[in-house]
Structure 1
Amino acid sequence: MPSTPEALIAIYEDLHRHPELGGQEHRTAGIVADHLRTLGYDVTTGVGGTGVVATLERGAGPTVLLRADMDGLPVREDTGLPYASTATATTADGKEHPVMHACGHDVHVTCLLGAAARLVEDREWQGRVLLVFQPDEETGNGARAMVADGLYERFGKPDVVLGQHVAPLPVGVLGVTAGPAFAASDSLRVVLHGSGGHGSRPEATVDPVVLGAATVLRLQTVVAREIAGSDMAVVTVGSFHAGTAPNIIPDEAVLQLSIRTTDEHVRARVLAAVERIVRGEAAAAGAPREPEVVTIDGTPTVVNDAGACARVTAAFQAAGGHLVVDPGTVTGSEDVGILADEAGVPCAYWLLGGADPALFAGATTVEELKRVVGELPSNHSPRFAPLAAPTLESGVAALVTAARSFLG
């Protein structure tokens, strides 16, 4: 039974050792399904690709959806943990990459399995629990794929969507924000066309490396000079690829961008500015062809329902064991909001502290907590390493407490 601290840690360390990329979570899904069947849940696999859905009914009452994402990232782990990942996988570009649970989805899966066990043991509630173990969150496609595969037609609509995301807050802290909680995300691929040639004769070429460098720098002015200080926006160039040798000027450079916003007007303005700058820099460089700007994927803002947040916050505080804070809107993105939006129901999605509390000694305000958080390895870092114990116990308790606040 995945309900004891020892069992939770064993599951977590196994999942951490064996991360899988989005859409490839076959092993993870099998482990999840086996545990849930043992617990007595009605389990369906292969939903939206590799997703797992499990239900448990106890008479009349509301349906509560609890969600965890399962995928890892193409990151080489550098935590030094004894259970560190050495796994590799083939990505969409056909290349073999190291894989790591750099975002903490192994924590999410383990906590939800633990909560599933506790809800079986707890005989005091009525209603229906709908567990969703979702694939492919990192690309923003997983929630949409499960909905498109008939998630709600096959398993019924919930009355609320609940979940959590581990973060470098101290263990025992939960971050709950009503309204915009996680930013919208847009990922873009930009291809800049040049005219290649010999590295010794740049005058005979249009150098896409120089064009790309100028574009990267100019893109940093979007937030600094086109977005009001009171609005939130992030523009990151996370990938820049060009060329094969030091003495060859290539024909093209490829940039990949990540854009985060919380307001639709700001989102539209940032995307328009990116397009304008990319095309303007290409024209200024005398590029032989128009650049290509393609949307890879995107997710909407996660908007937490005020009433649902008030309910789970009151439950967390009444249960004890957690300090509940309001971290405000985070610039990270999530596709859990799609599950709530498609069902037309409230969402409450909170941050789960996973960092050693000793690192926060002396911090007494949210501002001080944020300062320490900014100094720690964060999600997507190769050194991101949540403290397994007692983070897992904290996460299980939070999920069960939140679910019980809605169940009859």
Structure 2
Amino acid sequence: MRPQPPALPDTGPADTPLTSGLAARLPHWEEVYRDLHAHPEPAFREHRTAAVVARELAGADGWEVTPGVGGTGVVAVLRNGDGPVVWLRADMDALPVEERTGLPYASLEPGLMHACGHDVHVAALLAACRQLAAHPATWNGTAVAVFQPAEEVGRGARAMLDDGVLDRFPRPSVVLGQHVGPLPAGVVVTRPGAVMAAADSIRVTLYGTGAHASTPHLAVDPVVMAAAAVLRLQTVSARQAALNPSAVLTVGALHSGTVANVIPHTAELLCSLRTYDERTREEVLAEIRRIVRAEADAQGATRPPDVEPYDPFPLTVNDAEATGRLLTALAQAGTVTRTLPVPLGGSEDFGRFATAAGCPSVFFHFGGADPGSFDAEAVEALERGALPPGTVMNHSPFYAPSDRHAVAAGTRHLLAAAGAWLGPGGGTGTAPREA
């Protein structure tokens, strides 16, 4: 008989002191998730989302709520005697993606979608806040809930830091964060050390000489220049293949011209670069500059191209000791864990908080899919450490976590993680189990 995918029961595992009563409250938090999913907001414009957060926290006894941190961020503090200060972070912003899930609670905002699951993050952290307030006798210390804006553009954590978040609120002993993904609910993946790539967006502007489409001999065509540059840039990642993990360079957009019968003056490439150390980052940036400059020279460009990195994301690094402590707590709570062999290629600005505070941090990914949707082929793929064929990934217009499973799983994971520092025993116990 083939093994079944690891899963949480519909109501979750047996209650712990911090999760007591959660099952009865889950319908409310699932409805909060559906509401947030239907009303996505872009980076630094999460006004309605922040209002929902503030309203829900107002009903949780003891939380001191401060809106408007770093623009639209919300910070809430719950003090419960002596002990460590644990920051729990959720991001709030959506993506400029047209939703195609067909869900009854699909986005009502044209061209905007919670395609990355930040709506789950917010709902799960709100639910965890309510649980912490409901069970003060089961933990000691200070919990700080950080609802962060603008993660998708890599500027939200920096905005909150620039707004004095470390000085205005209790400084963290540890910072914890999570991200939903297309794994079955009940599974968590992470690793000590580097867990997510550093990233740069790069804007390349190529300059030509415009003309009528009927007289290309009178023009320096930036569209041809851009097309040649794109093909050449595709070789950059190949030359990094010996590294493990290797740098990844993707051209995500090419913009030039407006009509068919005009050769434009300029073309713009938007690229995404993922790296795992600063030396490689600088080498690849230099290679990008060399390639686009050479293509411009080869075609007689009137001026050299501009290469502008923007919206940088730092390397996300998990503290080794804190990661082991968190995985042990998750295992005790019934979660199946898997240690990633190499960092993930996605990027986060989560790590800026702990870096600025000089404290450890741990970031982990958890499953938000219905475990019952994983057939034998999918189970085999997971056993190999791969996602099943046809898996819909974050940032897809078709991606949506299961409202029934993702919020429950995310809430339980956050409470288990927080309890590793706030709960009796400080997270000591049995070792985590592998998927």
Large movers: runs of 4+ above 3 Å: 364-369
1:396 aligned partner, one-letter code: T
- Matches of 2:322 and 2:380 in 1, distance apart? 27
SS at match of 1:39: coil
- Matches of 1:252 and 1:364 in 2, distance apart? 49
- Matches of 2:407 and 2:206 in 1, distance apart? 46
1:62 aligned partner, one-letter code: P
Contact 2:245 2:343 in 1 (8 A): no
Q: Given the alignment of the two structures, is residue 248 of structure 1 paired with residue 270 of structure 2, yes or no?
A: no
- Matches of 2:294 and 2:356 in 1, distance apart? 38
> What is the aligned partner in structure 2 of residue 66 from structure 1?
88
> What is the aligned partner in structure 2 of residue 27 from structure 1?
48
> What is the aligned partner in structure 2 of residue 207 from structure 1?
221
Shift of 1:385: 1.0
The equivalent position to 1:335 in structure 2, one of 349, 355, 358, is 349
The equivalent position to 1:347 in structure 2, one of 361, 371, 382, is 361
> What is the aligned partner in structure 1 of residue 99 from structure 2?
77
Contact 1:68 1:108 in 2 (8 A): yes
> What is the aligned partner in structure 2 of residue 404 from structure 1?
419
Q: Given the alignment of the two structures, is residue 44 of structure 1 paired with residue 29 of structure 2, yes or no?
A: no
SS at match of 1:146: helix
Pairwise mapping of residues 91-106 of structure 1 onto structure 2 (< 5 A)?
98-106=111-119
The equivalent position to 2:407 in structure 1, one of 379, 384, 392, is 392
Pairwise mapping of residues 317-332 of structure 1 onto structure 2 (< 5 A)?
317-320=331-334, 322-327=335-340, 328-332=342-346
Contact 1:227 1:266 in 2 (8 A): no
Contact 1:77 1:86 in 2 (8 A): no
Shift of 1:269: 1.2
1:107 aligned partner, one-letter code: V
Shift of 1:375: 2.4
Q: Could you give the per-residue CA deviations for residues 211-236 of structure 1, whole angstroms, max 9, x where no partner exists?
A: 00011111111110255243421111
Shift of 1:360: 2.8
Shift of 1:156: 2.3
Pairwise mapping of residues 4-403 of structure 1 onto structure 2 (< 5 A)?
4-40=25-61, 41-88=63-110, 98-122=111-135, 123-226=137-240, 228-320=242-334, 322-327=335-340, 328-362=342-376, 363-364=379-380, 366=382, 368-372=384-388, 375-403=390-418
1:380 aligned partner, one-letter code: H
| Between 169-178 and 143-152, the greater mean CA deviation after superposition | 169-178
2:49 aligned partner, one-letter code: T
CA gap of 1:198–1:367, structure 2 versus 1, over 3 A, is farther
The number of residues matched between the two structures is 397
2:392 aligned partner, one-letter code: P
Contact 2:240 2:247 in 1 (8 A): no
- Matches of 2:80 and 2:381 in 1, distance apart? 42
Q: What is the root-mean-square deviation of aligned Cα atoms in Å?
A: 1.5
2:116 aligned partner, one-letter code: C
> What is the aligned partner in structure 2 of residue 94 from structure 1?
none
TM-score scaled by length of structure 2: 0.89
TM-score scaled by length of structure 1: 0.94
Q: What are the ranges of 5 or more consecutive residues in structure 2 without an aligned counterpart?
A: 1-20, 424-435
Contact 1:68 1:134 in 2 (8 A): yes
Q: What are the ranges of 5 or more consecutive residues in structure 1 without an aligned counterpart?
A: 89-97
Give the fraction of aligned pairs with identical amino acids, expressed as a percent: 49
Q: Could you give the per-residue CA deviations for residues 351-397 of structure 1, whole angstroms, max 9, x where no partner exists?
A: 0101232343332574535131x521111110011111111111100
Contact 1:76 1:99 in 2 (8 A): yes
Contact 1:309 1:348 in 2 (8 A): yes
Q: Could you give the per-residue CA deviations for residues 153-199 of structure 1, whole angstroms, max 9, x where no partner exists?
A: 00021000001000111111111211111110101111100101111
- Matches of 1:315 and 1:213 in 2, distance apart? 51
- Matches of 1:110 and 1:306 in 2, distance apart? 28
Contact 1:360 1:369 in 2 (8 A): no
- Matches of 2:66 and 2:282 in 1, distance apart? 39
